[in-house]
Amino acid sequence: ITFEEDFSTDKLNEETWLTSFFWGKMLLNEGYSLTGDKHYFTNGENLDVSNKTLSIVTKKEQAKGKVWNTTLGFTIKDFDFTSGIINTAQSFRQKYGRFEAKVKLSSNDNVQHVFWMVGETILPHIDIFKYNSKTKKELLISNFWKSDTSKTGFEKNEGKISISALQKDYFIYSLDWTPEKLTWKINDFVIAEQTTGIPDEELYLQFSSGINSSKSQNGLPASMDIDWVKCYKKKE
């Protein structure tokens, strides 16, 4: 085991977890959201640690905060929703191994929950899971990597599974990462494998929730509940 968090205290360990995007901490010393986000990532206000569980809570409430726009830079925006984000960018990064978390997802169709890994830049980027319920109840499993031959500058591999059976309880979501292959698992059952676009740099863990459709406000607040997080590395 190289990393372990069971949220056994009544407060989030801020030496382990950042509560904003890494570059928000480095450049602004505060959080921000991305262009198109309907929610503002508060600085820990939407994170609740109790009964050895971390809940990332998405709420209907007004907030004002910074947004990153690739053309305009940082601007101020009014939001109607808030949510939370945590990552290990300053405390833990690893190349290869097993990365897993025991998570329970809410059933709100307007809220997206993500367990992902990223490095110094947006690419490479691995979604261990992304709950995409805007159009269908699906769990997306994705990998994005740089490409000099693609018009977009990146390539991706994406798989989908039905989420209807995954909204009732806790499940263990895992990624096994070797130099040759990425393997996604749920409760140790293999759901996807990939042998192209394998990252070759250390990545950190990131969990986030947010609004992907503001058409209906029913079911808010909604949460992603994390029981524990563990990472492993093979012994030399």
Give the burial string for 28-60 (b: 16+ CB within 10 Å, else e): eeebbbeeebbbbbbbbbbbbbeeebbbbbbbb
Question: How much is the pLDDT for 83?
Answer: 97
pLDDT of amino acid 190: 96
pLDDT number for residue 135: 57
Report the phi/psi class of residue 153: left, alpha or beta, with left for phi > 0 and alpha for psi in -120 to 50.
left
Question: Would the pLDDT of 210 be above 90?
Answer: yes
Give the pLDDT band of residue 41 (cuts 50, 70, 90).
very high
